[in-house]
A and B are shown apart, each in its own frame.
Chain A
Amino acid sequence: MSLLHIAIVLPFIAAVFIPFLFKGFRNIHTGWFVLLVPLALFIYFIQYLPVTSGGQTVSKTFEWIPSLGINFNAHVDGLGLLFALLITGIGSLVVLYSIYYLAKEKEALHNFYVYLLMFMGAMLGVVLSDNLIVLYMFWEFTSISSFLLIGYWYDKERSRYGAQKSMLITVFGGLSMLGGIVLLYIMSGTFSIQELISMSGSLMQDPMFIPAMLLILLGAFTKSAQFPFHVWLPDAMEAPTPVSAYLHSATMVKAGIYLVARMSPVFAESGIWLWLVAGFGLFTLFWGSFNAVKQTDLKGILAFSTISQLGLIMSLLGLGAAALHFDQLDENIYMGATIAAVFHLINHATFKGSLFMVAGIVDHETGTRDIRNLGGLVNLMPITFTIALIGTFSMAGLPPFNGFLSKEMFLLATLEILEFNLFSMDTWGILFPVIAWIASVFTFIYSIMLLFKTFLGKLQLDKLPKKPHEAPIGMLISPIVLGALVIVFGFFPNLLSNSMIKPAVEAILPSLVDSGQEVYVNIYFWHGFTPELFMTIGIVLFGTLLYATLGKWQGIYNRIPEQFTINGVYDRGLEKGESGSFKLTEGIMTGYMRTYLLYIFGFFVAILLSTLVVRDAFSIDTSNLAEIRIYEVILAVVMIASAITILFAKSRLTSIIALGAVGYSVALFFVFFRAPDLALTQLVIETVSVALFLLCFYHLPEISRKEERMGFRFGNAVISILVGITITLIAISAYSNSSVFESISQYHIDNVYKLAAGGNMVNVILVDFRGFDTLFEICVLGVAALGIYAMVHFRGVRRQKG
């Protein structure tokens, strides 16, 4: 186990000690101890930066289940390191923020930090595992720890609802992903991502390639809250704000992005991948930004905004796949999309993290997150306002913040895809810039709304539960750091370009690097008067116009009825699923033995008859039949008559006697077919059982002793006749084929005296050749006797208790 492995599992190890620290040092906020973990990890991972920016990767193997090919292979490349730095960096800031956000007296901090550290370790595991099964394990760890974190205030009903929802959706996706992983393993024989990438060309031909891709994408889309799986994210806002800032803006929701980026080299050659990832991403971008305008809750806006920005990154990753089809171009313009995706990923983590923290501060200091009650906080909370301004303007894509740069690159990428002439992109591709532009307008609107409605306008002191004031400095440090990064990355984007973006892009598009193309990352503000600049100007103009007239057109949101929203579908699906399965069980499990017998016999007939028909197994062969003798016929007629009497007798007594008649006839048959032992036994046993039947009859309660014929049910008649026919047909077929193998009875005949010193072959078989069966048959008899004894004698005891 190398240092790298220890670094990945360090949060898990640390989590073990948290409860002891919480109990042992009640005066110190537990968060201070926790803070050391992500800080140490951040510093540790920074050391890898020179390695990855030099184009190198680091791989360390730890054997876990080598016989199944499941090993904990830690693999650090540009993409993994970028995520690892995000996780540990923002993790440190979030822990610092949470120290001031969560009071140490009131909250169950040991739970909080254990979950948070579990989550951090799981995320590190996801982004640094090369083995898909290990990745899946950590993936589910993120789902579980995020479930625990969302339900942190478990006494609130909404928290439990949100936690359950996110659990159901992300675990659904996770399991689909596992299916995809298994398919990939079947195709390639390896769980290693690097090995999969090296054989991606041959995988394309496999018929399971498309299913595997769809399943993996399902996992990524559910985790990253893509349409229509985005519904869990707004409800996950019931979590404490540090959790929302960490999980639902910077890290967990980017696990899906990571997976798409990571698997791009395997799948992205396919046109379906390009259309699915780009298409779903783009629609999510629009849908999220469109719905964000409708929200009144600060965190609600931010949740939908996160959905929309994730869609943006996702669509950029999809568009970046176009680059793979132009190996020969010297200057591959489509590579710009991937660069933009990575850049926006970083930008989004910075500004969205700070905005969530701002929302948390506003909530903490005013007691409400409802923008209808907020307003005019600018004078009371100037620092918070400044951070919010930086964050929202960056989110809206305004200069001079980093959001502007990535938004420009995004618009450029959507425009460039128009020149792409594969996969009918040249006809439908026009949708990309159009939708992207509309979505950006909405993004502008909600960003401005978020800022203006919270901090500008009239102060409504009477509507605020608390008297607002500026937050303590400790709470402000983290958003200030993130806000500062927004500006730094805005002004000096090339700080990132060679150290982080370039290695990440190389990891996403390795085939291009192999073919000798240089990933050239140079981000700068001024492009000249390019189309994307005019698009941005249009966004600002239209956005301002629409924001000014917001009251006039906001009514359209109420036009969409609740049932047609994805939430409505989810809720009703859950409800219908429960009531439906309840009804199904109620319908099938009637509690009546007769129904179950009907099922059993029905399936019996259906399966056997269909086998007989499908296999064409029915055969009839009269060659080995014996001659029919007259007394056999007579006896058969007697038996049939008795059997019919049993069915149609009016009195139960008649049925019992007729049953006895059948039994004695069987004994007679045994006589005719020369089985004296059977005949003897059958006679005595039939006598005993008829006596027992009579006993039962005698003890029937008066009320149900009414003499009446058995009721006729058509279904029962059909089933019983079919069962009879089935058995008869099978018996005839089996007998017709009985000459296939010779009987082994000759051995018994030959050896009954020689080996076993006996003359009665039946008895010799029973006690000697096959004595083992007899031993257990007498055990059965003993058990039956004891059972009857117990039932009769312990009846009273049970009645007293029950």
Chain B
Amino acid sequence: MKKPNDVILQTVTTVISFIIILFSINLFFAGHYTPGGGFIGGLMTAAALVLLLLAYDVKTLNTILPFDYRMMTAAGLLIAVLTGAGALLFNQPFLTHAYDYFNLPLLGETSLHTAVLFDIGVYLVVIGVTMTIIQTIGESE
């Protein structure tokens, strides 16, 4: 079988996937104030990776992005749990969040919220899970 020429797909994908990832990061950070959040952000990022998978193949993607997605899932769970457990250090119930406003360089006055840390956990788990499933199924014959 002749190898199909998919140069257009690959070129477009390279460009598009960055836009998608940017969009997903936007969804993720905007989540606390506008629609979005860790879950949908994670799914979007995974979608970008899936697009790369479609344009190239499993091996290439592994070389570009050498992530172990199962470890990523574990790391996400760990971050989420530790965020919750952090509250215990301050004599607060599990998963109590805290926030405050900080004057950061470049960004000016910004609110920093521990819920974002929790959301990062969700984000990582969703990417890890989606990619594990798709990779696993894709690799099997």
Give the B-binding residues of A (Cβ under 8 A). Answer: 676-677, 680-681, 684-685, 688, 692, 695, 756-760, 762-764, 766-768, 771-772, 774-775, 778-779, 781-782, 784-786, 788-789, 792-793
| A785 and B32 within 8 A (CB) | no
Taking CB atoms, residues of chain B closer than 8 Å to A788 are 132-133, 136-137
Taking CB atoms, residues of chain B closer than 8 Å to A792 are 136-137, 139-140
Which of A756, A757, A764, A778 is B77 in contact with, Cβ under 8 Å?
Answer: A778
- On whether A767 and B119 interact (CB within 8 A), knowing A756-B97, A757-B111, the answer reads yes
Restricting to B95-141, which residues have a CB under 8 Å from any CB of A? 95, 97, 99, 111, 113, 115, 118-119, 121-122, 125-126, 128-130, 132-133, 136-137, 139-140
| A695 and B137 within 8 A (CB) | yes
| B122 and A778 within 8 A (CB) | yes
| B97 and A685 within 8 A (CB) | no
| A784 and B34 within 8 A (CB) | no
Q: List 12 A-B contacts (CB under 8 A).
A: A677-B40, A681-B40, A758-B113, A764-B115, A771-B84, A772-B94, A775-B81, A781-B129, A782-B128, A782-B129, A788-B132, A789-B132
- On whether A680 and B36 interact (CB within 8 A), knowing A778-B121, A788-B137, A789-B136, the answer reads yes
Pick the 4 closest A-B CB pairs, nearest first. A759-B33, A676-B35, A785-B129, A785-B132
Restricting to B72-103, which residues have a CB under 8 Å from any CB of A? 73-74, 76-77, 80-81, 84, 94-95, 97, 99
Which of A695, A760, A793 is B32 in contact with, Cβ under 8 Å?
Answer: A760
How far, in angstroms, from A22 to B23 measured CA to CA in the complex? Answer: 87
Residues of chain B at interface, number, CB under 8 A: 45
Which of B70, B80, B115, B139 is A778 in contact with, Cβ under 8 Å?
Answer: B80
| B70 and A789 within 8 A (CB) | yes
**How far does the Cβ of B26 sit from chain A's closest Cβ, in whole Å?**
12
Is B52's beta carbon under 8 Å from chain A? no
Which of A768, A779, A786 is B115 in contact with, Cβ under 8 Å?
Answer: A768
Query: Interface of chain B, helix or strand or loop or mixed?
Result: helix
How far, in angstroms, from A688 to B137 measured CA to CA in the complex? Answer: 13
**How far does the Cβ of A152 sit from chain B's closest Cβ, in whole Å?**
62
Taking CB atoms, residues of chain A closer than 8 Å to B81 are 775
How far, in angstroms, from A785 to B119 measured CA to CA in the complex? Answer: 19
How far, in angstroms, from A681 to B27 measured CA to CA in the complex? Answer: 12
Taking CB atoms, residues of chain B closer than 8 Å to A766 are 37, 39
| A785 and B121 within 8 A (CB) | no
Is B49's beta carbon under 8 Å from chain A? no
| A760 and B35 within 8 A (CB) | yes
How far, in angstroms, from A325 to B133 measured CA to CA in the complex? Answer: 85
- Using CB atoms, name the residue of chain A closest to B31: A763
Is B55's beta carbon under 8 Å from chain A? no
Taking CB atoms, residues of chain A closer than 8 Å to B38 are 767
How far, in angstroms, from A680 to B115 measured CA to CA in the complex? Answer: 21
- On whether A758 and B70 interact (CB within 8 A), knowing A684-B47, A785-B128, the answer reads no
Is B44's beta carbon under 8 Å from chain A? yes
| A756 and B115 within 8 A (CB) | yes
Taking CB atoms, residues of chain B closer than 8 Å to A772 are 84, 94-95
**How far does the Cβ of A382 sit from chain B's closest Cβ, in whole Å?**
92
**How far does the Cβ of B128 sit from chain A's closest Cβ, in whole Å?**
7
Taking CB atoms, residues of chain B closer than 8 Å to A793 are 136
| B115 and A782 within 8 A (CB) | no
How far, in angstroms, from A782 to B119 measured CA to CA in the complex? Answer: 15
Taking CB atoms, residues of chain B closer than 8 Å to A762 are 35, 37
Taking A681-B39, A684-B40, A781-B125 as given, write out 6 further A-B residue pairs in contact, using a Cβ cutoff of 8 Å, ordered by the A residue number: A680-B35, A680-B36, A760-B34, A763-B37, A774-B118, A785-B70
